[in-house]
Amino acid sequence: MDKEELKEILGMLRAQGVYAELCTKPVAVSLTSVPCGYPTDLSDQSIDDYFLMPKSLVGLHPEMFVPPVGDSMIDAGYEEGDMLRVRFGVQVNDCDDVLAIINGMVTVKTLFTAEDGTKWLVPRNEKYDAIELTEDMDVRIMGRVVGVEKTSVHASSRQLQTSIRRTKNKQRKAQRLSAEAVDERIIAIGESVRHARQWFAVYRAMLDYCVTPEGDFSGFCTRVRRLLPEHGHLPEAKEVARMAVQSFSKPVALWQSNNAPVMGSRFREYQSIAMEMGRLLGGCDE
């Protein structure tokens, strides 16, 4: 089919009220999924394929299609198998879904400014905590999600405020717990720990909720041994410390299955223990 025939067909469609365009503008596709990692530039090594799109739908800023992974944005409609269309170098505003790099870790979340002026990246799944963007973090907002099948890319500010408030309430509740109350929760989570190194997940959750000192693996392990002397999988400080690498060195909300010291079902076990400990510390009914 030559160019003139295509023009004739397009003219016939428009006469029938159907607006159609030729897809001639290539948009890069990366098969590196987010939040499990994303290149920081648009070099040839980052590109796995191209989608052709109408020129009128593609602006002057570079774009790329990337697949999401995980369920932290499930309420936004982002599911594994989708392709997120991310536009780089554009202004982002509150309630926009953005691709961000935090201390070298990549994630897609909703950007929002709370009533007190603090900046947050908010998940769209109540199972996950919002991430406050603090001065000690290396944060780069790389781009804005401008398209995805079966979803809206603009969130309700009320929903985002509710998520942030829920996260803050959980953190405050944990910090108000007495040492004895924290001990009770360590004892309770012990039933879920089936390998000595899995105690790292408990330590990391406690660190996220500010109820244990950072880096005090020896003190944490001594505490567990005191509380659960008959436990079949008691932790050793050196072994627990070895797990604090890759994404496991970050808050639980930033753990990534393809950038962790364990993979597959073992990763899910660690994540489940950490999230359950978070629920015990922050309250299941928040």
| Active site residues per annotation | 72, 109
Reported as type and span, the H/E element at residue 139 is strand 139-147
Residues facing 26 on adjacent strands: 52
Phi, psi of 50 (to 5 degrees): -135, 145
- Whole-number Å distance between alpha carbons of 233 and 190: 9
CA distances from 195 to 41, 93, 231, 233 (A): 40, 44, 10, 6
CA distances from 83 to 80, 143, 154 (A): 8, 15, 17
Core vs surface per residue 17-39: b (16+ CB within 10 A) or e: eeeeeeeebebbbbebbbbbbbe
Phi, psi of 258 (to 5 degrees): -95, 10
Nearest Cα neighbor of 157 from 206, 118, 113 is 113
